[in-house]
Structures are given as structure tokens and as C-alpha cells.
Chains A and B, each alone.
Chain A
């Protein structure tokens, strides 16, 4: 039995194998939470260090130093520099890629100089040896004054040794670079003000970084730095350069380097192909093709299983539980909501399988390299291309995948515009309306007109997304400066475990965080369409009990008098300028759950008695305008309706996932408002011109 828990922080550069080590240590004992007030995910997990001592490990975002420039880095800095922080670790483990040790040592020596207990885990020492880099880890340990462990995170090698050393580590005795040599007076004064003899912590405080200083201390430090003419930016730069000089001295003693050209040549040769002006884009298109295949068709089968499973279970519940409102709530409210959430799992799993795979090979950085210039003009960057294009299959996983964009402004813009891409849920709506308006045989030259119109709407979504991004570029102001110098890691064979852990993590986040909101909205929608002012349903049942087709007419009439129906009718004046009547109004309300619900609701309202496109189409075609008695679904109404569905945010799952990803209601609500206005305006203009 574990009796004591120790807090461990895992830190390191991006691409250093940090996540792999985290996964190897914690296995499935991990969870994703929130840091208060910001959008960065907090990954924590547990493992046993010994039979008595358990470790609570926090996986800090990848960072190069303790100077915070981006949100991710600020998280690491806040935790590591603040003793009062709840997550302040007893021991910090820095993981370093052995083939690129130099830049890992910046962060490490900073932590040493803060006098924190720290262990250096050298990842893949064997690989770097093969490349001609020989690191003497004993000398390194001696020079740094801290324990150094050789591990291979992927192969689970050296982990026990690492754990033993974590339990045994003491505060570092050496100072790697003493900032007081640069600013003797300033640091001494600063130490006095802070009442602590920690030169480096004082230096970081002086650089206006939050370091557990109460405000009185902070003000005194500010006065001090002004009096001494201290320039934080320049000082940081000087300090980094000096620190690297010390690092280079240390490395000179413990590294024998043959200049590793083998791996570089290998990577360069692959880059010659994958970054080629023609072949590079062709390869990218091929990758996109597979991503699309996966989200569009491979996920169809598991989605059908989930769908069938839920309908089977719903039917079972509906017939086996006592009839009544509770039964109806479970079947049409809760189970329908759960089914609506679960249905996304295959798409999320497939998209993230691809993304994790591509990221782990090192290819994602290349995609960014060849698309950055094109997207930059629209306020996006190279990392936006996968989320943006995946949006054409489903906005939910696409928005989640925007996580890989490091600049918060560009990430926000990407999340904002992704739902404008025509997703697969719009297909049933488009198909129904197009097949109603345009004869199947209509052709324009060699092209089928139905197909052309469908393509036009896909294009329209794409253009709207780009234009919106372009406008947002000028509206959203940048709180943090962008990070545009990016590492292009060497190619490597991806680790299947990383892929699996990524999928599990993303699916969990979606189910538990976004799922709650989806269930809530789903229940509200159920209430709206299953309740009516008292007696209204009874009246309908009596009135239509004996008419022909009672089994389809009664539900239709019931929906009409329900609260959803009442709302649909009451918004009729508002949607009349778009060519819609209350029947479409009701469908707009119910299909807020998901766009494809439109088809089902139209089928109920028009008493079709089935949901296959053909019978709905026939019924809708003969629908009359309730006022004039003429054909209702004119071309103008059809185009207007399609435009409305192209642009409006008719998807509660998207709203829930945007809420999850931006950690607040501000952006999903602005997005909802923007898309509704855009949808309304375009439908209004189209209908006014065409009718």
C-alpha cells in the first residue's frame, strides 16, 4: 500500500520525448484537467515510486526556458517558480533528447540555479551514440552537480533507476551561472527586499515575472529596477548568452562529437521529397485523402454500430420500462443525447490517430512549412490546414485538433472559422433540398447539375471560412507575441503507444467535458418538443384519433402544438423574409441538436411516416404555401434554406467543443451570434433576389 505521495514535475523542450516518458511512467493512470483561467490543458498522472511512495506527476507543457513568452511556457514558469503554487513539485525531472543536449540544458541549469531538486533524464543515449555523439554521463552529472539518468522512454528502459534516484535526490550544490556576477548590487538589494537568498529567483522576479511576491515586494522591486536602470529584455538576453557559455564549457568536458551527419542526411533526403514544390504538395494531398477517407468513410461503420446499438437499446428501454414521461425522457432525451455524443467517437479517434501519427513522425512540422505562406495572409498559419480541412468532415474533431497551433490568436481564428466548412452533417440537408429542386438528369455540359450545386456549397463554406479568418485577423488583438521560429524535428518512426494514448485522451476529453453540455442541451430540446401547454396533446389525440394515417398525423400535430412548435410559430415573422414558414421554424429549433435532425423533423411535420429521402422529397414537393396555396419549395426557398444551413451554427456539439477548447462561453456565443447573423443575411439576400 502506498502511504505517501510525492509531487513530481516533468519538464523539457518540445520534441524531447516528454510525453512518451509521461505515458511510460503513468500508463493509463492519467487525466486531463484545467489550469484556472487559461486554455492550456493540465495533464497529471500517478505511478508508484516504491512500495511505500506514490508519485503524482504533472506533465508540464514543452518549454525551452523559464522565461514565459507563450501561455504554455507561462504555465511551466508559474508552477516551477512559485513555492506556494499547488502544483509546486518536490522534484523536477528534466528530460533531454541526447542527440540535442545543448538546448535542453538551458532550462535545466535555470532550475538548478533556482536551487530546486532536479534530475536529468537523458533520453535515447544509445541512439545518439549510434549517431556519433558520445556523452559521458558521469562527467555531466559531476559538472552539473545533479543526478543524471540514462533512459529510453519508448522501450521503458531505465525507468526504475529514474524512480530510485527521484526518491534519493537532494538540493543541487552547484550554481551553474551566477547572475550576481552580472548585476551584483541589484541582486543583493533584490534579495534583501524579497527576504530570500536566492539570486536566480530574485533575477527572474526583477524581470517582472511572477515569483510568489506579494505586491509590496513587487512594487519595491519595480522601484529598484528603475533606480538601477535595469532593462529586463536586454538583461535576459545577456543572461541567456552567458548561461550558454557555461553550458558550452560543461559540454566540452563531457561530449565527444563526430558531428552527427548520418541522421541529418537521412532527414534531408526525405525533406527533398516531402518539401518538393510539386511532389511535396502531391504527398500532402495524398495524406489529406487518407485523413478524409478515415473521417468520412472508415468511421461510417463504427458510427453505424453505435447508432444501431443505441436505437436497439432505446427500443428495449421504450418497450420494457413502464410507459410515461420518464420513459420518454430516458429514450428521447438522455439516450438520444448520449447517442449523439458517442457517434462522434469514431471520427475523433480516426482524426487523432492520423494527427498523432503524423506529429510523431515529424511530418506535421513540414506541412506547416509548405502551407504557412498561403495561410498567413488569412490570419492563419501552417498548423491551421489540418483542422480547417478536417472541418469539411466534422467540426468537432477538427476544432479539437487546433490544439497543435501554438499561437493563441491563430488558434482562436482557426476554431472560429472551422464550423463554416461544410461538414458531413450538412450533407443530408443539402441532398434533400438539391434533389427536390433539381432533377437528377439535369446536366450542364458533361456535368451533373446536382453535383455542381453540391460542390458550390462546399466551396462557399471554404470561402466563407477564409474571408472570416481574414477579417478576424484585424479584429482579434494579440495578447502574446507569436512563435514563428519552429523546430523541424528529425524524422522518426512513430510510437504506436503515443498514438493510442492521444486517441484515449482526446476521446475522454470530448466525452466528459463536451458531453455534459451536449446532454444538457439535448434534454432542453427534448422538453421543448415533448411538452405542450396542458391539455394540448390530449386534444390532438382525440381530434385526430380516427383520421386516416393517424399514426403519422398525430405526431405531426403534436409537434405543432408543443413548445418547440410554439417557438417555431412565434419566430415565423422573423424568418418570413427568408422564405421560411413555421414548419421550417420548428425544424430550425429541433435541428439545433445536429443539422441532420432537420430531415427527421421535416418528415414528422409533413407526416411522411418514414425518413427515407425519396418519400420526404415527394411529400415536400407537393407541400403548399399555407397562405397562397402555391408550391412552397420554390428555388428561392431552397437556395435560401441551403444557405442558412451552410452558415448557421446548427450543432450543439460544436458549441460544446468550442466551449471546452476556449475554456469559456465568450467565444462559442460570439461564434453562434456571428454565424446566425451571417446565415440570416445571406438567406435574406438570396431570397430577396430570387423570389
Chain B
């Protein structure tokens, strides 16, 4: 278990849960549902926001939001 904000660039994980109802709903609507693979693609020059790749979708997420997104890391 890791927070999305703790992922390294290029690291992948599986979405476990989101600890904020509003944020969760927003991610769900964009098709980011539990069980999907999330990859941290890039950090912006000031390390915040970050961009994540979920299925074919590239999303920009603020670090404060990424703190609330819990990721399951495989093969740890």
C-alpha cells in the first residue's frame, strides 16, 4: 500500500481506494475505478501537480489530491 503521491516516476500500481468522497466520485466518473492500473508518468517542474496514466487516459492530479489516493503495489 502506498499513496499515489509516493510513487516514483514510471512506477505502476493498482488503485485500491480514495479517501475523499468528492475526489473519489470525480475519478470514478472519469473511468478511474478500483482495480485499474495507475502509472505515474511525470511530475511537473515544481513536483506538483503530477500526471498519471490510467488505461488510455492521461490525467493531471494535484499532489494534495494524490495524497488521498491509495495504491496497491504489485510484486513488492
Q: Which residues of A contact B (CB under 8 A)?
A: 64-65, 67, 69, 99-100, 102-103, 106, 233-234, 236-237, 240-241, 244, 260, 264, 267-268, 271, 275-277, 280-281, 365, 368-370, 372-374, 376, 481, 483-490
Contacts and interface: CB of A to CB of B under 8 A. Distances in A.
Interface of B: 21-31, 33-34, 41-42, 44-49, 51, 53, 55-62, 65
A268 B52 CA distance: 12
A301 B42 CA distance: 43
Contacts of A488: 51, 58-60
A613 B10 CA distance: 61
A383 to B, nearest CB: 11
Contacts of B61: 484-485
A276 B45 CA distance: 7
Given A67-B29, A102-B55, A234-B21, A280 B45 contact: yes
Give the interface centre of A106, A240, A483 by most chain B CB atoms within 10 Å: A240
Contacts of B41: 268
B59 A486 contact: yes
**5 closest A-B pairs by CB:** A103-B31, A64-B29, A277-B45, A373-B46, A240-B28
Given A103-B31, A275-B42, A237 B25 contact: yes
Given A100-B56, A100-B57, A268-B41, A485 B27 contact: yes
Contacts of B25: 67, 69, 233, 236-237, 240
B29 A240 contact: yes
Nearest to B33: A244
A373 B31 contact: no
Contacts of A486: 59-60
A374 B45 CA distance: 10
B31 A102 contact: yes
B75 to A, nearest CB: 20
Given A103-B29, A487-B59, A488-B51, 10 more contacts: A67-B25, A69-B26, A106-B29, A237-B25, A240-B25, A240-B29, A241-B34, A244-B31, A368-B60, A487-B60
Contacts of B62: 372, 376, 484
A486 B25 CA distance: 14
Contacts of B56: 99-100, 260, 264
Residue of B22, B26, B31, B47 with highest tally of chain A CB at under 10 A: B31
A205 B65 CA distance: 29
Contacts of A277: 45
25 contacts: A100-B57, A106-B31, A234-B21, A236-B25, A241-B28, A241-B33, A241-B34, A244-B33, A264-B53, A268-B41, A271-B51, A372-B44, A372-B49, A373-B46, A373-B48, A373-B49, A374-B46, A376-B62, A481-B22, A484-B61, A484-B65, A485-B59, A487-B59, A487-B60, A489-B58
A373 B28 contact: no
B57 A487 contact: yes
Contacts of A369: 44, 49, 51, 60
Contacts of B58: 264, 267, 487-490
A271 B52 CA distance: 13
B27 A244 contact: no
A281 B31 CA distance: 31
A99 B29 CA distance: 17
A373 to B, nearest CB: 4
A485 B26 contact: yes
A167 B63 CA distance: 48
B51 A485 contact: no
A443 B47 CA distance: 42
A373 B25 CA distance: 24
A281 B28 CA distance: 32
Contacts of B21: 233-234, 237
Given A69-B26, A240-B25, A103 B57 contact: yes
Nearest to A281: B45
Nearest to A64: B29
Given A280-B45, A484-B62, A237 B26 contact: no
A129 to B, nearest CB: 14
B43 to A, nearest CB: 9
B26 A483 contact: yes
A64 B46 contact: no
Contacts of A233: 21, 25
Contacts of A490: 58
B24 to A, nearest CB: 6
B60 A237 contact: no
A281 B44 CA distance: 11
Contacts of A67: 25, 29
B51 to A, nearest CB: 6
Contacts of A100: 56-57
Contacts of B53: 264
Contacts of B34: 241
Instruction: Give the most central of B23, B47, B51, B58: most A CB within 10 Å.
Output: B58
A80 to B, nearest CB: 15
A221 to B, nearest CB: 21
A485 B65 CA distance: 8
Nearest to A131: B56
A100 B58 CA distance: 11
A538 to B, nearest CB: 68
